[in-house]
Amino acid sequence: MTTDVPLTSLYQDLILDHYRKPRNRGTLPDATVEVHVRNPTCGDEIRLQLLLEDGVIADLRFEGEGCSISQASASMMTSLIRGKPLPDALALGSRFTEMMHADADAATDGSLRDLRALAGVARFPVRVRCALLGFDALREAARQSAGEAP
């Protein structure tokens, strides 16, 4: 599915740049946790691998397919959270989720960096799940690493 969401051209460029040249794309042979999430509404899929060391995301990779918003968002997320403690990365995910639910303060929060380019997607509820899929994967990975998942 192509992006049919009208966004400002600057943000559009940033989204397309991440979509065409995804950061941290690939596989991580020594990953400590791996999850696979899907957004059936749009057909997006993301596989996320994390290498956790003492609660820090020492490295990570993702692979996926789907719309430009889902894949660009995952790319932006991986570059944002790489090297961060897992709780900090999850807190950024909460902040991003607030932004995707049209929280104006979150949309101007510099800590979200490139992810702010997706603020306009909040006006298109059907696409919000696309944008949140990467962080859905991160939350699932956190649950697994905490031993709460089968």
Structure tokens, 45: 């899929």
Of 93 and 134, nearer to Zn ion (C-beta) is: 134
Q: Is 130 an interacting residue with respect to Zn ion (CB under 5 A)?
A: yes
Which among 48-56, 101-109, 115-123, 130-138 is the span making contact with Zn ion, rule CB under 5 A?
130-138
CA nearest neighbour of 132 among 94, 80, 103 = 94
Which among 51-59, 82-90, 92-100, 126-134 is the span making contact with Zn ion, rule CB under 5 A?
126-134
Tell me the per-residue interface mask from 36 to 75 with Zn ion, x by CB under 5 A, - otherwise: ------x-x---------------------xx--x-----
Report the length, in residues, of the chain: 150
DSSP per-residue codes, 46-111: EEEEEEEETTEEEEEEEEEES-HHHHHHHHHHHHHHTTSBHHHHHHHHHHHHHHHTT-HHHHT-GG
Structure tokens, 90: 């999850």
Residue 4 CB, nearest distance to Zn ion (Å)?
Answer: 11
Residues of span 82-101 touching Zn ion by CB under 5 A: none
One-letter amino acid for residue 60 of the chain? L
Of 70 and 75, nearer to Zn ion (C-beta) is: 70
Binding-site ranges for Zn ion (CB under 5 A): 42, 44, 66-67, 70, 130
